Amino acid sequence: MFTGRIETTATIAEVREESLRVTVDPAVPLVAGGAVCLDGVRLTMQSAQPGELVATVTDETRRRTTLDRATPGTPVHFELPLAAGDRIDGHLVQGHVDGVGKVLRIDGEPSGRRVWIKPAERLLARLVAKSSVALNGVSVTVAEVLKDRFSVVLVPTTLQKTNLDALVVGDRVNIESDLLARMGREGHGPALLDAVARLPWAGHLSGPVGVQKVVAQLAAGGGVVVWDPTLEGEGDVVFAAERFRPESMTFLLTQACGHTTIPCAPEVLERLEIPRMPGEGDRQGTRMHVPVDLASLPGTGVSAADRAATIRRLASPDAVPEDFLRPGHVFPLAARAGLLGERGGHTEATVALCLAAGLAPVGVCCEVMRPDGVMADAVTLEQFALRWELPMIDVHDLTRWL
């Protein structure tokens, strides 16, 4: 989480196929594996030393932001994430760019400079006059919102301390709408404010420290959010099956709203004689197995309590094939034997997290879906994580640091 209050700029020193090398003031504390916001884009530092960092930049990031035109010598706005106890001066910025806008017009004013920007229609609907917006990572205020454009007024201090002074008509800018305004309209404002007090644990984390916090949450029986920007472009809530409770199942059914599945190490499904479903499966190569119910259940197997009991038994080391009815209402998936080293999907991430937490290699995952039936994107997913005080991590971080 960032504030959009830019204290320094950095310079792109080298553009590589999957990363950027960036130089910055040597006095700025950099930590390999930590997050950084460059021109409003949240990135992870592959490596860091005084005065220089290398940040990962995927093809998707280049497609969705102005980093597609990054060249050596380009100055960029630089901000490190908030830490516990930091003063929030600006507004909450996630570093998840909503879209790119085009500068249409620039007018001089006594109070500074008015800039008119045309964003995508879907993004324009999120902007509210007198609320905050981040332009290339800089927190500014929306002055007006018209049919196809909006304006901001850049005051002298902003012009002096940032690169927005160099904007000209035709330039493209990264845009991120205000998180508080969005969540306020959705009725989540109070929950977000509560979550802000727990910023080190709630919301998007990164690097080895972020992975450690996610593993600790899972080991304690809690849920975590795993974002997969590449294979599926979706996010899942993940629990460890060994410590799964009916309340967690109810949460997945009523709040995450996706399809709950049970990723398992392949040897678990072999031992329990749960066969693979016929057919080639989905486009992502998910290995779906025959759904099961716990044979000893008095109910139908559908209730939250029934499903939680079935899931816990799947994770039990002394479970046997006769413990389960086939088919049922709990859907196992087989992870690849090499886990994240073989496939960077939610199935493998779930099992890898359970093993890292010292638990049985069986987990629970469920996609997060918006109330309108659309799968949650990265921005909506972090709102969800903040609302429910859950840590959120990228699959790429898990692949690198587990």
**Separation CA 363–CA 315 (nearest Å):** 8
**Separation CA 290–CA 183 (nearest Å):** 39
pLDDT at 182: 60
What's the rounded mean pLDDT across residues 31-46? 90
Q: What digits encode the pLDDT tens for the residues 193-250?
A: 444 444 445 778 888 778 888 888 888 888 999 999 888 889 999 999 999 999 999 9
pLDDT at 67: 92
pLDDT at 240: 95
Average pLDDT, the chain: 88
Q: What digits encode the pLDDT tens for the residues 275-330?
A: 999 988 778 889 999 999 999 999 999 999 999 999 999 999 999 999 999 999 99
pLDDT at 402: 82
Q: Which pTM value belongs to this model?
A: 0.61
In the sheet where 203-204 sits, what is the strand order? 203-204, 391-394, 224-228, 234-240, 363-368, 257-264, 332-334, 287-288
pLDDT at 199: 43
pLDDT at 155: 85
Q: DSSP code of 370?
A: -
Question: For the chain, give me the number of helices (H) and strands (E)?
Answer: 12, 22
What's the rounded mean pLDDT across residues 103-115? 89
Whether the CB-CB separation of 213 and 356 falls below 8 Å is answered with no
Residue 143 pLDDT level (bands cut at 50, 70, 90): confident
Strands (E), 157-303: 172-177, 203-204, 224-228, 234-240, 257-264, 287-288, 292-294
Q: What length does the chain have?
A: 402
- Of 118, 112, 106, 114, nearest to 169 by C-alpha is 106
Structural domains of the chain ordered from first start:
8-79 (2.40.30.20), 99-178 (2.40.30.20), 189-401 (3.90.870.10)
